[in-house]
Chain A
Amino acid sequence: MFPSIAGALALIAGCAALGFYYAAQEGFRINDLQEFKKALMILSSEIEHLRTPLPMAAANIAKRTKGVVRDIFGEFAQLLSDERNETAYQLWAQALEGQKKRAYLAGEDWDAIEGFGKTLGYLDKQMQQSAITVMIDYINEKTTTLQTQSDKNRRMYRSLGVIGGLLLVVLLW
Protein backbone atom coordinates (compact mmCIF):
# COMPACT_ATOMS: atom_id res chain seq x y z
CA MET A 1 0.00 0.00 0.00
CA PHE A 2 2.74 2.44 0.99
CA PRO A 3 4.68 2.28 -2.33
CA SER A 4 1.49 2.91 -4.32
CA ILE A 5 0.59 5.96 -2.17
CA ALA A 6 4.15 7.26 -2.51
CA GLY A 7 3.95 6.71 -6.28
CA ALA A 8 0.60 8.50 -6.47
CA LEU A 9 1.96 11.48 -4.51
CA ALA A 10 5.05 11.60 -6.73
CA LEU A 11 2.86 11.56 -9.84
CA ILE A 12 0.65 14.39 -8.52
CA ALA A 13 3.72 16.41 -7.49
CA GLY A 14 5.35 15.85 -10.89
CA CYS A 15 2.26 16.91 -12.83
CA ALA A 16 1.73 19.93 -10.57
CA ALA A 17 5.38 20.95 -11.08
CA LEU A 18 4.94 20.65 -14.86
CA GLY A 19 1.81 22.83 -14.63
CA PHE A 20 3.64 25.46 -12.58
CA TYR A 21 6.56 25.41 -15.04
CA TYR A 22 4.25 26.04 -18.00
CA ALA A 23 2.46 28.75 -15.97
CA ALA A 24 5.79 30.51 -15.38
CA GLN A 25 6.97 30.26 -19.00
CA GLU A 26 5.06 33.32 -20.24
CA GLY A 27 6.52 35.31 -17.36
CA PHE A 28 10.02 34.22 -18.42
CA ARG A 29 9.23 35.32 -22.00
CA ILE A 30 8.10 38.74 -20.75
CA ASN A 31 11.33 39.03 -18.71
CA ASP A 32 13.46 38.18 -21.75
CA LEU A 33 11.58 40.75 -23.86
CA GLN A 34 11.98 43.44 -21.17
CA GLU A 35 15.68 42.69 -20.94
CA PHE A 36 15.99 43.00 -24.71
CA LYS A 37 14.16 46.33 -24.54
CA LYS A 38 16.69 47.52 -21.95
CA ALA A 39 19.50 46.45 -24.30
CA LEU A 40 17.91 48.41 -27.16
CA MET A 41 17.58 51.52 -25.02
CA ILE A 42 21.26 51.29 -24.08
CA LEU A 43 22.15 50.79 -27.76
CA SER A 44 20.03 53.81 -28.65
CA SER A 45 21.84 56.05 -26.18
CA GLU A 46 25.24 54.65 -27.28
CA ILE A 47 24.41 55.59 -30.90
CA GLU A 48 22.77 58.94 -30.11
CA HIS A 49 25.06 60.43 -27.48
CA LEU A 50 28.33 58.54 -27.37
CA ARG A 51 28.66 57.43 -31.01
CA THR A 52 30.35 54.26 -29.84
CA PRO A 53 31.48 51.77 -32.53
CA LEU A 54 29.22 48.69 -32.74
CA PRO A 55 31.63 46.13 -31.16
CA MET A 56 32.16 48.38 -28.12
CA ALA A 57 28.46 49.23 -27.87
CA ALA A 58 27.58 45.50 -27.93
CA ALA A 59 30.21 44.78 -25.25
CA ASN A 60 28.80 47.62 -23.08
CA ILE A 61 25.29 46.23 -23.46
CA ALA A 62 26.51 42.76 -22.48
CA LYS A 63 27.99 44.27 -19.30
CA ARG A 64 24.76 46.03 -18.34
CA THR A 65 22.17 43.33 -19.10
CA LYS A 66 21.54 39.84 -17.75
CA GLY A 67 20.61 36.35 -18.85
CA VAL A 68 20.28 35.35 -22.45
CA VAL A 69 20.38 38.98 -23.74
CA ARG A 70 23.79 39.47 -22.09
CA ASP A 71 25.03 36.29 -23.81
CA ILE A 72 23.66 37.35 -27.23
CA PHE A 73 25.35 40.76 -27.10
CA GLY A 74 28.49 39.29 -25.54
CA GLU A 75 28.84 36.77 -28.35
CA PHE A 76 27.98 39.42 -30.96
CA ALA A 77 30.69 41.75 -29.57
CA GLN A 78 33.17 38.87 -29.63
CA LEU A 79 32.29 37.93 -33.22
CA LEU A 80 32.55 41.59 -34.31
CA SER A 81 35.95 42.06 -32.73
CA ASP A 82 37.25 38.86 -34.35
CA GLU A 83 37.13 40.87 -37.62
CA ARG A 84 35.75 38.06 -39.76
CA ASN A 85 34.92 38.66 -43.39
CA GLU A 86 31.17 38.68 -42.75
CA THR A 87 28.44 41.33 -42.49
CA ALA A 88 27.12 42.50 -39.12
CA TYR A 89 23.80 40.81 -39.92
CA GLN A 90 25.49 37.42 -40.50
CA LEU A 91 27.37 37.75 -37.21
CA TRP A 92 24.14 38.81 -35.44
CA ALA A 93 22.37 35.72 -36.82
CA GLN A 94 25.26 33.55 -35.60
CA ALA A 95 25.10 35.10 -32.12
CA LEU A 96 21.35 34.46 -31.99
CA GLU A 97 21.68 30.87 -33.21
CA GLY A 98 23.81 29.94 -30.21
CA GLN A 99 21.21 31.22 -27.72
CA LYS A 100 17.91 30.19 -29.31
CA LYS A 101 17.52 27.02 -27.26
CA ARG A 102 18.22 28.78 -23.95
CA ALA A 103 15.75 31.65 -24.22
CA TYR A 104 12.01 31.58 -23.60
CA LEU A 105 11.27 33.81 -26.62
CA ALA A 106 8.79 32.58 -29.23
CA GLY A 107 9.36 32.20 -32.98
CA GLU A 108 7.82 35.59 -33.81
CA ASP A 109 10.15 37.29 -31.29
CA TRP A 110 13.18 35.65 -32.88
CA ASP A 111 11.98 36.74 -36.34
CA ALA A 112 11.68 40.35 -35.14
CA ILE A 113 15.07 40.25 -33.40
CA GLU A 114 16.74 38.66 -36.41
CA GLY A 115 15.11 41.26 -38.69
CA PHE A 116 16.43 44.01 -36.43
CA GLY A 117 19.96 42.68 -37.08
CA LYS A 118 19.65 43.71 -40.74
CA THR A 119 19.75 47.35 -39.68
CA LEU A 120 22.87 46.94 -37.56
CA GLY A 121 26.09 48.60 -38.55
CA TYR A 122 25.46 50.04 -41.99
CA LEU A 123 22.54 52.49 -41.89
CA ASP A 124 22.90 56.12 -40.81
CA LYS A 125 22.23 57.22 -37.23
CA GLN A 126 18.64 58.29 -37.83
CA MET A 127 17.71 55.06 -39.62
CA GLN A 128 19.25 52.96 -36.85
CA GLN A 129 17.32 54.96 -34.24
CA SER A 130 14.05 54.41 -36.09
CA ALA A 131 14.80 50.65 -36.37
CA ILE A 132 15.36 50.59 -32.60
CA THR A 133 12.08 52.48 -32.03
CA VAL A 134 10.21 49.97 -34.21
CA MET A 135 11.70 47.08 -32.23
CA ILE A 136 10.86 48.74 -28.88
CA ASP A 137 7.28 49.31 -30.09
CA TYR A 138 7.03 45.61 -31.00
CA ILE A 139 8.29 44.62 -27.52
CA ASN A 140 5.86 47.02 -25.78
CA GLU A 141 2.91 45.72 -27.76
CA LYS A 142 3.87 42.06 -27.23
CA THR A 143 4.45 42.57 -23.50
CA THR A 144 1.03 44.21 -23.04
CA THR A 145 -0.71 41.39 -24.93
CA LEU A 146 1.20 38.73 -22.99
CA GLN A 147 0.46 40.33 -19.64
CA THR A 148 -3.29 40.35 -20.24
CA GLN A 149 -3.16 36.75 -21.49
CA SER A 150 -0.78 35.41 -18.88
CA ASP A 151 -3.04 35.90 -15.83
CA LYS A 152 -5.72 33.69 -17.35
CA ASN A 153 -3.22 31.16 -18.70
CA ARG A 154 -1.24 30.98 -15.45
CA ARG A 155 -4.30 29.94 -13.48
CA MET A 156 -5.28 27.46 -16.19
CA TYR A 157 -1.86 25.75 -16.37
CA ARG A 158 -1.60 25.42 -12.59
CA SER A 159 -5.08 23.88 -12.31
CA LEU A 160 -4.41 21.62 -15.30
CA GLY A 161 -1.21 20.32 -13.71
CA VAL A 162 -2.77 19.43 -10.36
CA ILE A 163 -6.05 18.07 -11.76
CA GLY A 164 -4.22 16.17 -14.53
CA GLY A 165 -2.05 14.51 -11.86
CA LEU A 166 -5.11 13.53 -9.82
CA LEU A 167 -6.82 12.18 -12.94
CA LEU A 168 -3.79 10.07 -13.84
CA VAL A 169 -3.68 8.64 -10.30
CA VAL A 170 -7.38 7.71 -10.49
CA LEU A 171 -6.91 6.15 -13.94
CA LEU A 172 -3.88 4.10 -12.89
CA TRP A 173 -5.18 3.09 -9.41
Chain B
Amino acid sequence: MDISVVFQIAAVGILVAVLNQVLKQAGREEQATMTTLAGILVVLFWVIRYVSQLFTEVQTVFNL
Protein backbone atom coordinates (compact mmCIF):
# COMPACT_ATOMS: atom_id res chain seq x y z
CA MET B 1 0.00 0.00 0.00
CA ASP B 2 1.24 3.46 -0.90
CA ILE B 3 1.84 5.43 2.34
CA SER B 4 1.07 8.76 0.64
CA VAL B 5 -2.64 7.84 0.64
CA VAL B 6 -2.59 8.02 4.45
CA PHE B 7 -1.17 11.55 4.33
CA GLN B 8 -3.69 12.54 1.66
CA ILE B 9 -6.55 11.27 3.80
CA ALA B 10 -5.16 13.13 6.82
CA ALA B 11 -4.91 16.36 4.78
CA VAL B 12 -8.47 15.99 3.48
CA GLY B 13 -9.68 15.33 7.04
CA ILE B 14 -8.02 18.50 8.39
CA LEU B 15 -9.20 20.69 5.52
CA VAL B 16 -12.77 19.38 5.64
CA ALA B 17 -12.84 19.95 9.42
CA VAL B 18 -11.69 23.57 8.95
CA LEU B 19 -14.23 24.11 6.12
CA ASN B 20 -16.92 22.67 8.33
CA GLN B 21 -16.08 25.12 11.13
CA VAL B 22 -15.91 28.12 8.78
CA LEU B 23 -19.30 27.29 7.25
CA LYS B 24 -20.90 26.64 10.64
CA GLN B 25 -19.67 29.98 12.00
CA ALA B 26 -21.19 31.71 8.97
CA GLY B 27 -24.53 30.06 9.81
CA ARG B 28 -24.52 27.68 6.83
CA GLU B 29 -25.03 24.38 8.61
CA GLU B 30 -26.52 22.70 5.55
CA GLN B 31 -23.48 23.38 3.35
CA ALA B 32 -21.18 22.34 6.22
CA THR B 33 -22.91 18.95 6.39
CA MET B 34 -22.70 18.56 2.61
CA THR B 35 -18.95 19.37 2.67
CA THR B 36 -18.34 16.77 5.38
CA LEU B 37 -20.34 14.23 3.40
CA ALA B 38 -18.36 15.01 0.23
CA GLY B 39 -15.10 14.59 2.18
CA ILE B 40 -16.21 11.20 3.49
CA LEU B 41 -17.22 10.07 -0.01
CA VAL B 42 -13.87 11.13 -1.51
CA VAL B 43 -11.93 9.29 1.20
CA LEU B 44 -14.17 6.21 0.80
CA PHE B 45 -13.51 6.29 -2.94
CA TRP B 46 -9.76 6.25 -2.24
CA VAL B 47 -9.82 3.45 0.35
CA ILE B 48 -12.43 1.19 -1.28
CA ARG B 49 -9.85 -0.78 -3.27
CA TYR B 50 -7.76 -1.36 -0.13
CA VAL B 51 -10.84 -2.59 1.73
CA SER B 52 -11.63 -4.91 -1.18
CA GLN B 53 -7.99 -6.08 -1.15
CA LEU B 54 -8.27 -6.76 2.60
CA PHE B 55 -11.37 -8.92 2.12
CA THR B 56 -9.66 -10.90 -0.66
CA GLU B 57 -6.64 -11.45 1.63
CA VAL B 58 -8.91 -12.66 4.46
CA GLN B 59 -10.64 -15.04 2.05
CA THR B 60 -7.28 -16.39 0.90
CA VAL B 61 -5.88 -16.78 4.43
CA PHE B 62 -8.91 -18.68 5.71
CA ASN B 63 -9.42 -20.53 2.45
CA LEU B 64 -13.02 -19.35 2.14
Chain A residues near B (Cβ < 8 Å): 152-153, 155-156, 159-160, 163-164, 166-167, 170-171, 173
Contact = CB atoms under 8 A, between A and B. Distances in A.
Interface string B1-37: 0000000100110011011001101111000000000
Given A152-B27, A156-B25, 9 more contacts: A153-B26, A155-B22, A155-B26, A156-B28, A159-B19, A160-B19, A163-B15, A170-B11, A171-B42
17 contacts: A153-B26, A155-B26, A156-B22, A156-B23, A156-B26, A159-B18, A159-B19, A160-B19, A160-B22, A163-B15, A163-B18, A163-B22, A166-B11, A166-B15, A167-B15, A170-B12, A171-B42
Contacts, number: 35
A121 B31 CA distance: 47
B26 A170 contact: no
A163 B22 CA distance: 10
Nearest to A154: B26
A167 B26 contact: no
A164 B27 CA distance: 18
B22 A152 contact: no
A16 to B, nearest CB: 14
Contact of B8 (A153, A160, A170): A170
A96 B19 CA distance: 39
Contacts of B27: 152
**Residue of B11, B15, B23 ringed by the most chain A CB atoms within 10 A:** B15
Nearest to B39: A167
B19 A163 contact: yes
A82 to B, nearest CB: 48
A22 B13 CA distance: 25
